[in-house]
Structure 1
Amino acid sequence: MRLLFLSIALFFLLFTSCSISVKDEQLDFSILFLRDKAQKETVSSVANKEMAPLKSPNLGYKNGVYWFKVILKDKHFKNALLFNLPESNIYSIDIYQNGEKINYKSLNRNYFSLVVNEFNNYNTFILKVQFKNEVYFPLQIKKYDERQLDVKFTFLIYGVYYGFVLVALILNLLFYFSLKDKTFLYYCFFLASITLGVLAYDGFLQLILPKKLFSYSSVATHFLITFSGYLFGYKFLKISSYFPKSKVIGYILVFLASIFYLFFFFTKEYLLVAIADTISFFVLLYNWSMGIFIFNKNVYAKFLVIGYSLILFSAALFILPTAWGIDMYTASLTNIKIGSFFEIIILTYGITYRIKILQKENKRFRVEIDHFIHKMEGFSNPQKSMENNSNFIEQITKFDLSERESEVFELIAKGLTNKRIAEDLNISHNTVKYHIRNIYEKIGINSKNEAIDFFTERKSPK
């Protein structure tokens, strides 16, 4: 717990320190907009058309070309202007004044942060903006000062967050290779998918991929988050043992979301992504609800419910209002990163806690097996021991065990772990589990403790 609180305190210390910058002067302005559905408008034709006031930056799934008229209320400015648009899904921007295109300098490669130096002392700008995905236009305008350190601090925040994620991925991979528990692998898949999604919204994917593929890759990350999140939650909680048919419902929802995502690749209609994102939210909400239902029955459910909560609902408030153009409270990408930070800490601890429990159970089982083996070694007469052994084999033949099941049964009696049995018989760990389950069913026992009692009753000398 001390390490947990220390990590949280360190994160917020770095986050708040990275948010400090030279004070900048925000300008007061209004925005009018027009959707160019046919993509035939020009800056001249737009100037004479009626435009609607932009009341919210969320315009929804109707992507394409939009024209924005930005009217500065301060008419007396001489400094360079900074047009800041922290939105990676914008494909291109042209800036006009008095009907002529003006040049700008880009400060940021992963999203639009534009410095305009050459302009007339005129308070109206027209922006032609092309959106490939959802239409989100969170414009900020400032008087630009070279002393402003916003971009540098932003990249420092990026470094802190992605560095933490990388450490968590490496740690969980090491757990997987050392403990051979696939839960760590499922979680790595989920964490990597979330990170790819955040990279897409941060705009870093478009630095790696061709610009034409960026809109498709960002949508693909939505599906990966949905699938990996459901898969990890289902396996981590072992929901099938509580709700055997729940798997079917989950996979139907995942399949429906994947169909809508797939159709987007052919139609480029972002409405399909908005529908798929909504279904995806219900997929992860369904997993989270399963955790609620077994909250008092499964200790691991507590970790999943708490760890999922912040990132699940912050992501929903970030993605869904933007996709549907809903004018409501919208979470920021920073909220998602904070939620991801807590989710990494809580779920990684939950998985390691699960391993500790399993190790304790295995240790207790080995102690009981060792106790039984000591009893076996106490047989003074080797010949009698062999007779008892043959009597034991004769008694278990009535249970119709296969040759391989008998071998597994005998190695269990010797106190070997599942991993050691797999190595000795040159079979997989899952195959060992399969044989043990069949043995239990045929003999009529339910646990390893009952197996020990069975060994003791039939192998003890009479």
Structure 2
Amino acid sequence: MKFRLSLLLCFLYLSFFGQEKVFYFKDANKEYSSKTIGSANFKEVVDDIVLESKTDAVFWFKIPKSLDDDDYVFQIKSIDTKGSKGFQGNKVLEKLPYQRYNVFQFTRDEDTFIKTASNSKAYYPITLNKSDIFNFNEKKIITYNSFYYGFSFLVILYCFVYYFYFKDYAFLYYSVFLASITLGFLIIDGTLNLFGVSKKITNFLIITNYIALAFFASKFINSFLFLESIYPKLKKYTYTVGVLIILSGLIYFITDSHLYLLILNVLVFSLLLIYWLTSVLLFKRNIYTKILVLAFALLLFSAIDSFVLTNFGFRIFKSNPLLMKIGGIVQIIVLWFAVIYREKILRKENAFMKKEIISFSDSINLNDEKLKNENTLEDLSHREREIFNLIIQGKSNKLISAELNISVNTVKFHIKNIYEKLNIKSRKEALNIDLNIAKF
């Protein structure tokens, strides 16, 4: 009895979980149609993803029929797909409108087949859920995305304000760098598809954003770590990489060739990796360099995993947009405090240096003034010294005339001689002479 019960439970378990399995077939020669695909040798999708390097093959997904009466939703979470279609028997399944990615809804009274292809690598992350679960998950994702984008926009705005207040270009470059990262997430999240943005415009934004990301990331790190004074030759090499990035982006936009998109990806993230490794070399220099190295690492390597390594048909960290957003949030928070902390340290250092320079300058000026006046005050006559002392006390010609009981013209005559002997040009300059030096 126990053995039969165990077999029954095992059968129910396999039946229940078998319903959620998805299978795929690589149609390398594009020889199958919706009528013949049922005879193809399908393989089970592992970890909800199909990943291969660049291929022109068509991929088919199979969702086996089930006794479940609920509506199911199949989603391919990639913006690189083209020609995606769904079939169920003799019926063509229409894609759901106003979705971030390609989405098909159906019942499972028959086997369902989804056909798709790609302009670049064969990268197809998929989900299969009941309709209500899919809708709930989409609402959660959109809520998370809204929080991320809102938080990013707030930090970008604050960076602009701090730039205009402190006149530190690190704030400006970081704000544009963060805006570029945010736009990249908007694109790969499929958000532009919700607004009906065409594929051509999306490609243009992708290329432009790659170039902006490389440029402003390098400008930010250069400004943040003062690399031009530490490694002056680095600029020459990174500028060369920058020119290659622009050229590969333009060629890709003109030719729509995946090869140049691959080159663009490799160049951009190679440049970012170079700057990260440079900051590692300066790790012990100060605290905000350490923060930059640690904060930048998670986002950088998850992005390399998603945008570079997948082009060669493999992944290391199994990165996804959610993981990269977590890295993005960590980077935003940590780097934001690092930039603020850096500004505080620099202002304190600048204030100390300014104070020291002013003190040193005053000391030099005082010694020069003493030497100058010690040499020249001895040349003044007794009456001229009396008038000079009254001048530096701020008294006018009329008051000097009354106090010394001489005419105003006589005062003016003596003042003229005093100016010539002391090599000064005005009463204002005379007032700047130390009173203690002038008195006899």
TM-score by length of 1: 0.68
Q: Which of these residues, 112, 116, 126, is aligned with residue 102 of structure 2?
A: 112
Partner of 2:192: 205
1:306-455 pair list within 5 angstroms? 306-326=294-314, 328-368=316-356, 371=359, 384=373
Contact map agreement 1:26 1:140 (CA 8 A) in 2: no
The equivalent residue for 2:20 is 27
Ranges of 4+ aligned residues in structure 1 off by more than 4 Å: 45-56, 369-383, 385-388
AA aligned to 2:78 is E
Single out whichever of 275-284 and 363-372 deviates more from structure 2.
363-372
CA RMSD of aligned residues (A): 3.5
Larger RCO: 1 or 2 (CA < 8 Å, sep 6+): 1
- Residues 232-278 of structure 1: per-residue CA shift (max 9 Å, x gap): 21222122322221222222223333333322222222232223212
Q: Deviation at 1:219?
A: 3.8
Matching residue of 1:450:
none
What's 1:168 paired with?
Answer: 155
Aligned length: 359
In 1, distance between residues paired with 2:181 and 2:255?
25
Q: Give the letter aligned to residue 58 of structure 2.
A: Y
How many angstroms apart in 2 are the aligned matches of 1:247 and 1:380? 46
Give the whole-Å Cα distance in 1 for the aligned partners of 2:159 and 2:101: 32
* Secondary structure, aligned partner of 1:226: helix
Structure 2 counterpart of 1:183 = 170
| Residue matched to 1:196 | 183
TM-score normalised over the length of structure 2: 0.71
Larger radius of gyration: 2
Structure 1 residues 264 and 109: CA distance shift in structure 2, 3 A: same
AA partner of residue 76 (structure 2): L
Cross-structure match for 2:269? 281
Work out which of the residue numbers 109, 131, 146 in structure 2 matches 1:159: 146
**Residues 34, 51 of structure 1: 8 Å contact kept:** no
Q: Deviations over 1:317-355 (max 9, x none)?
A: 222232222265421111111111111122222222222
Percent identity over paired residues: 24
The answer as to whether partners of 1:176 and 1:185 remain within 8 angstroms in 2 is: yes
- The one-letter code of the counterpart of 2:346 is L
| Contact in 1 for aligned 2:85/2:95 (Cα 8 Å) | no
Pairwise CA distance, 1:172: 0.6
Query: 2:89 corresponds to which residue?
Result: 98
For residue 58 of structure 1, report the CA deviation from its aligned partner. 1.5
Whole-angstrom CA distance in 1 between matches of 2:37 and 2:244: 40
- Residues 34 and 52, structure 1, Cα contact 8 Å, conserved in 2: no
Q: 1:301 to 1:317 in 2, by over 3 A?
A: same
The residue correspondences of 1:46-65 to structure 2 (distance < 5 A) are 46=37, 56-62=49-55
Partner residue in 2 for 1:43 = 34
Report the counterpart of residue 72 of structure 2 in structure 1. 81
Q: Over residues 264-299 of structure 1, what are the superposed CA-to-partner deviations in whole Å (9 max), with x where a residue is unaligned?
A: 222222232223212322211110111111222344
Question: What one-letter code is carried by the residue in structure 2 that aligns with 1:384?
Answer: N
Provide the C-alpha distance between the structure 1 equivalents of 2:134 and 2:321, rounded to a whole number of angstroms. Answer: 25
Q: What CA distance in whole angstroms lies between the structure 1 residues aligned with 2:78 and 2:269? A: 22
Name the CA distance, whole Å, in 1 between partners of 2:29 and 2:215.
36
Change (3 A) 1:372 1:165: same
Q: What residue ranges of structure 2 are gaps of 5+ in the alignment?
A: 1-16, 378-436
Q: 1:142 aligns with which of 121, 125, 129?
A: 129
Q: SS where residue 43 of structure 1 aligns?
A: coil
Residue 58 of structure 2, aligned match among 41, 58, 66:
66
